[in-house]
């Protein structure tokens, strides 16, 4: 994993907006409708090419395929594993339960989305079917990226065992721990090919924070921390033997525009997150409910063998942060970490978490990524004592 040796590098969390044609094809395929494979493949080729080009134009240093080939950041998994069917029934998010008018607004805004809260559940022993889908995904990404030759490092995302277990719920195993162990075993087959292809693996684990207000909203913070610890152990089991500097972990409080008044504080999570055998920790810090969380990092410093990928732009609002605002957030992150080389500026979360549900319009997404680059230039000039290009 590269470091910010002579300037603050930039990246993002993973998903980027899909075009309308690709969105429709992915949602139709998820619904079981007939989709022309060649048409879908051609559209994926086009979308991945455009996404990689746009990341370069925006000034992103560590890029990915924008999750263009997936219908959702974790809901694509049943396409690759047997044992899923029916429908998961999750508790209503606490923010939504307390603010039904927010739900109504979302339903009006996004009438045609992929499955989010109604994904299938585990109804039999889960088994990874084959890795042809994943191999095609990796090959397309690497082929297009190599043809453009614009990036020194590339990453690919994959969901954590915990977020799959909480969003595609257990309807088969004797216990949730048994289900979690099975997912850890089978998702390793998703993780290893990504690593073996030379890509950085990013494990998306919003379950480590977000699920406090969803599946485990009736638990105490202390009870939730114990659950989060088990989920983190499942991640470590799945990546056993993989060099930690080839893996980064993303944790967040949920990528929605809502009150976030019941989120668990970062200071309670950090001791658990620091147990992850990864080289990078990606966290929200631009979300207005969590901009103060650098204090937790100062009180409980980042381990020396980890880098921080702080969110310096919000992924749920169409405001474009001024480069000076981004620079200040980066400088605050560096001050909390105590090492400019171990900070890579990022986004709070993805911009296309689920097909058909993009909170930020595409034209604004690219401005937000550009402002990360511009803010990083300003911060770099101050940190390295040179004139800024911004």
pLDDT in tens, 107-166: 776 666 656 677 899 999 999 998 999 999 999 999 999 988 889 899 999 999 999 999
Average pLDDT over residues 308-337: 97
Using alpha carbons, list the distances in angstroms from residue 347 to 126, 180, 248, 273, 284: 33, 28, 14, 19, 7
Please tell me the distance from the alpha carbon of residue 76 to that of residue 340, in angstroms, as a whole number: 36
Under the banding of pLDDT at 50, 70 and 90, the label for residue 86 is very high
Kindly give, in sequence order, each residue whose CB lies less than 8 Å from that of residue 182, ignoring residues fewer than 6 positions away: 125, 126, 173
Query: Where do we find the tokens 């940190």?
Result: 383
* Partner residues linked to 124 by β-bridges: none
Query: Where do we find the tokens 């109504």?
Result: 104
Under the banding of pLDDT at 50, 70 and 90, the label for residue 53 is very high
Under the banding of pLDDT at 50, 70 and 90, the label for residue 260 is confident
CB 322 within 8 A of CB 374: no
Which pLDDT belongs to residue 88?
Answer: 86
What is the DSSP secondary-structure string of 282-329? Answer: EE--SSTTTGGGHHHHHHSPPPTT-EEEEB-S-SS------HHHHHHH
Mean pLDDT of the chain, nearest integer: 93
Query: Where do we find the tokens 């169409």?
Result: 318
Under the banding of pLDDT at 50, 70 and 90, the label for residue 102 is confident
DSSP state of 157: E
Which pLDDT belongs to residue 150?
Answer: 82
Q: Between residues 114 and 176, which one has the greater pLDDT?
A: 176
> In the structure encoding, which two tokens stand for residue 62, read together?
């560590």
Q: 106 pLDDT exceeds 70? A: no
CB 370 within 8 A of CB 35: no
Q: 297 pLDDT exceeds 70? A: yes
Please tell me the distance from the alpha carbon of residue 4 to that of residue 387, in angstroms, as a whole number: 17
What domains does the chain contain, in order, with CATH numbers? 9-384 (3.20.20.210)
pLDDT in tens, 223-257: 999 999 999 999 999 999 999 999 999 999 988 78
Q: 97 pLDDT exceeds 90? A: no
Query: Which of 311, 214, 227, 222 minimizes the C-alpha distance to 11?
Result: 311
Which pLDDT belongs to residue 8?
Answer: 98
Average pLDDT over residues 312-324: 97
Please tell me the distance from the alpha carbon of residue 227 to that of residue 225, in angstroms, as a whole number: 5
Please tell me the distance from the alpha carbon of residue 217 to that of residue 166, in angstroms, as a whole number: 12
CB 344 within 8 A of CB 317: no
Which pLDDT belongs to residue 244?
Answer: 97
Average pLDDT over residues 59-76: 95
């Amino acid at each position: 994993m590269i470091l910010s040796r002579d300037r603050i590098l930039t990246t993002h969390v993973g998903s980027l907006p899909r075009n309308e044609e690709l969105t429709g094809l992915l949602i139709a395929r998820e619904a079981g409708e007939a989709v022309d494979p060649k048409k879908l493949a051609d559209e994926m080729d086009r979308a991945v090419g455009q996404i990689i080009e746009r990341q370069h134009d925006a000034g992103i240093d560590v890029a990915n395929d924008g999750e263009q080939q997936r219908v959702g950041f974790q809901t694509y998994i049943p396409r690759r594993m047997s044992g899923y069917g029916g429908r998961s029934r999750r508790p209503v998010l606490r923010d939504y339960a307390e603010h039904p008018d927010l739900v109504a607004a979302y339903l009006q805004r996004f009438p045609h989305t992929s499955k989010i809260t109604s994904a299938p559940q585990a109804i039999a022993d889960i088994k990874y079917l084959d890795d042809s889908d994943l191999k095609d995904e990796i090959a397309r990404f690497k082929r297009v990226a190599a043809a453009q030759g614009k990036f020194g490092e590339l990453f690919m995302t994959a969901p954590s065992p915990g977020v799959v277990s909480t969003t595609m719920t257990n309807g088969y195993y004797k216990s949730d721990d048994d289900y979690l162990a099975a997912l850890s075993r089978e998702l390793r087959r998703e993780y290893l090919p990504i690593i073996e292809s030379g890509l950085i693996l990013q494990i998306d684990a919003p379950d480590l924070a977000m699920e406090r207000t969803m599946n485990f909203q009736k638990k105490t913070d202390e009870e939730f921390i114990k659950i989060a610890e088990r989920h983190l152990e499942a991640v470590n089991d799945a990546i056993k033997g993989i060099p930690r500097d080839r893996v980064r972990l993303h944790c967040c409080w949920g990528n929605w525009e809502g009150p976030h008044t019941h989120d668990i504080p970062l200071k309670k999570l950090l001791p658990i997150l620091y147990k992850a055998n990864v080289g990078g920790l990606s966290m929200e810090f631009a979300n207005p409910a969590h901009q103060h969380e650098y204090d937790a990092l100062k009180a409980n410093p980042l381990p020396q063998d980890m880098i921080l990928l702080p969110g310096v732009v919000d992924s749920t609002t169409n405001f474009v942060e001024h480069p000076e605002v981004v620079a200040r957030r980066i400088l605050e992150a560096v001050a909390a970490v105590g090492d400019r080389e171990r900070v890579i500026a990022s986004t709070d979360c993805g911009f296309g978490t689920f097909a058909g549900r993009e909170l930020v319009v595409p034209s604004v997404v690219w401005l937000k990524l550009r402002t990360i680059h511009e803010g990083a230039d300003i911060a770099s000039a101050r940190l390295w004592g040179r004139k800024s290009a911004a």
